[in-house]
Amino acid sequence: MIRGVQMKVSTAAGRELRAMCMALSALALPAAASAQAWTAPTTQESVAIMQVVRAVVNAELGPPVEFEIASSRLLEGWAYVDAVPKRAEGERFYYEVTRYAEAVEFGRFEERVQALLKHSELGWILFEYSIGGGDGVAADWMDEYAVPDALFAPAP
């Protein structure tokens, strides 16, 4: 199911609280965190991951979409990506013809794509993604799947 700005029922306050808890736990347990710290993907891994993410963003916003990657992390077979979708120079996204029109109009939309993927024999499989969602989207995913908390820990 599409996980966009409209999909989750958790409150923004709840999300922020959980995000803060995640950050605090990461700071309080440096030894544990270092034992399972996330790593940055190799170029090859990143290309494979972004290929999957790009496919769904293209499907929703229309191709071609490029990304400015803010964060890309790997841990225990999971990948988390936080990126800004981009068009070629001089082009823009026509959100008014997408499902995000209302969110954009009312300022409830961040130009941001987040995605959670898991590696398998079939390659990288998309578990969740969000277009336009803000901080805290990932916290919902932690509740849903057995994703290690450290995947979302602040950068060292």
Partner 1 sequence: MSLVWRGRLAGLARLLTLLAALAAAPAFAQMPGEVPGGGGQMPGGSPGNAGQMPGEPPGGAGQVPGGPLVPADPGVVTIPPQGSPERAAILNGLRPMVIAEVGAPVEFVVGTIRVVGEWAFVEARPQRPGGGEIFYIYTRYQAAVDAGAFDDSVIALLRQTPAGWLVYEYVLGATDVAWIEWIDRNLAPSEVYPFQP
- Determine if 121 is a binding residue for partner 1 (CB under 8 A): yes
- Determine if 43 is a binding residue for partner 1 (CB under 8 A): no
E strand segments, the chain: 66-75, 78-86, 113-120, 123-131
Among 94, 105, 143, 154, binds partner 1 (CB under 8 A): 94
Amino acid at 41: P
- Determine if 69 is a binding residue for partner 1 (CB under 8 A): no
- Determine if 47 is a binding residue for partner 1 (CB under 8 A): no
- Determine if 123 is a binding residue for partner 1 (CB under 8 A): yes
- Determine if 86 is a binding residue for partner 1 (CB under 8 A): no
How far CA 78 is from CA of 39, 72, 89, 126, in Å, comes to 11, 11, 32, 10
Among 16, 60, 110, 149, binds partner 1 (CB under 8 A): 60
Closest CB to partner 1 among residues 70, 145: 145
> What strand order describes the sheet that includes 66-75?
66-75, 78-86, 113-120, 123-131
Within 13 Å of residue 87, how many CA atoms lie on the same side as its CB? 11
Least Å distance, CB 27 to partner 1, is: 30
Give the position of tokens 């300022």. Answer: 107
Closest CB to partner 1 among residues 3, 26: 3
Our measurement of the distance from residue 82's CA atom to the centroid of its chain's CA atoms, rounded to an integer in Å, reads 4
Least Å distance, CB 39 to partner 1, is: 21
3-state secondary structure of 72: strand
- Determine if 122 is a binding residue for partner 1 (CB under 8 A): yes
Question: Where do contacts with partner 1 occur on this chain (CB under 8 A)?
Answer: 1-2, 6, 52-53, 55-56, 58-63, 94, 97-99, 118, 120-123, 125-128, 144-145
